[in-house]
Amino acid sequence: MADQAPSPLPDDSDDRESPLTPPTAPEAPRQHAELIEDEVERATVRRTPKYPVFLVVGAALGLIVAMILTFTFSGTSEESPTTGLVYSQGQVFGFLLLICIPVGLALGGITALVLDRVFARRAHAVTVDHERIHTLD
């Protein structure tokens, strides 16, 4: 008996209901009441710069300028005339970072503001069809 193949499932191609599923009544098509609001508006389309990107690029340029200034001038082995101390290259780099990063941030922000003003001149108005559909169920 173990070598017999399982019997195939009964063919469900005819329209009779299966004994396992209860008969279902045909569903009536559902009616949806919809409220459609249509508005025509004027909108201004323009490009704008992404300010955080300009600020990060400005700070990165300030960091690069501080590195260049630190390693091009080798005046860190002498005593400072104003304080009487000898500063290491790391200290000089830190001092230059305190100056160059805020300057880079300011230049990046100013660049973004100038580009924003230029893009504002190129703005144009368009007609927008705004459609809202509310279903009332």
- Give me the pLDDT at residue 110, please: 98
What are phi and psi for residue 127, nearest 5 degrees?
Answer: -95, 130
Q: Is residue 20 part of a domain?
A: no
Q: Is residue 114 part of a domain?
A: yes
pLDDT band at 5 (very low <50, low <70, confident <90, very high): low
User: Token pair of 28, please?
Assistant: 């009536």
Strand residue runs (E) in 15-123? 33-45
Neighbour count for residue 14 (Cβ, 10 Å): 7
Give me the number of domains the chain comprises: 1
> Does the residue 98 lie in any domain?
yes
Domain range spanning residue 119? Answer: 46-74+87-136
The pLDDT tens digits for 97-113 are 999 999 999 999 999 99
Taking the CB of residue 108, how many other CB atoms lie within 10 A of it?
22
Mean of the per-residue pLDDT values for the chain?
82
The band of 91, judged by pLDDT with boundaries at 50, 70 and 90, is: confident
- pTM exceeds 0.75 for this model: no
